[in-house]
Amino acid sequence: MAKNRTMSPAPENVVSIVGAGMRIVGDCESADTIRIEGSIEGTVRAEKGVVIGKGGRVKGDIHTADARIAGSVKGALTVKSRLELEATAVVDGEIKTARLQLDEGGIVNGTVSVGRQDAAEAPTPIGKAAEAKAPGPNGSLFGSGRKRKTVSK
């Protein structure tokens, strides 16, 4: 008598793990989440998330939706949604993210851009007003540069 076996569906949250003591030289890509406890030299791309443990090290760029970092990163971090830097985190490089949480003790050396990334390219309301208003004779956007007469009472 044959038994009917059915395959169970794939788990929704698949986590790829780079274990402690493991070293990868090359790019890593995942459609889900990557947890790094060892070290990676190369670009890390994960559609859902990247988690770097206290002993984890990445020397290269990271591109993901969410990230939690307790280890170190030397490279650019591009995080679409939320970046959490724990107290033991050390980041040397550019950060671009929509939201940022930096715990006391976390170290960031580099530039940080927080907020909508498309907003940085659009002119600000002040920039739009400056474009619309012609500069005065002295080059000032705030007036002619001449002193105004005051009336004393």
- Which pLDDT tens digit goes with each residue over 43-97? 999 999 999 999 999 999 999 999 999 999 999 999 999 999 999 999 999 999 9
Total number of domains in the chain:
1
Q: Which SS3 state, helix, strand or coil, does residue 109 take?
A: strand
Residue among 51, 22, 47, 21 at smallest CA distance from 34: 51
Residue 119: its pLDDT value, please?
43
Which percentage of the chain shows pLDDT scores above 90? 64
Whole-prediction pTM value? Answer: 0.69
Do the domain assignments include residue 1? Answer: no
Residue 73 within any structural domain of the chain: yes
Amino acid at 56: G
Q: Which two tokens stand for residue 17?
A: 């793990």
Cα 90 from Cα 104, distance rounded (Å): 12
User: Do the domain assignments include residue 139?
Assistant: no
What rounded mean pLDDT belongs to the chain?
Answer: 81
Domain that holds residue 26: 15-132
Residue 1 reports pLDDT greater than 60: no
Mean of the pLDDT values across residues 100-127?
75
* Assigned domain for 111 exists: yes
3 state DSSP class of 98:
strand
- Decide if 151 is inside a domain: no
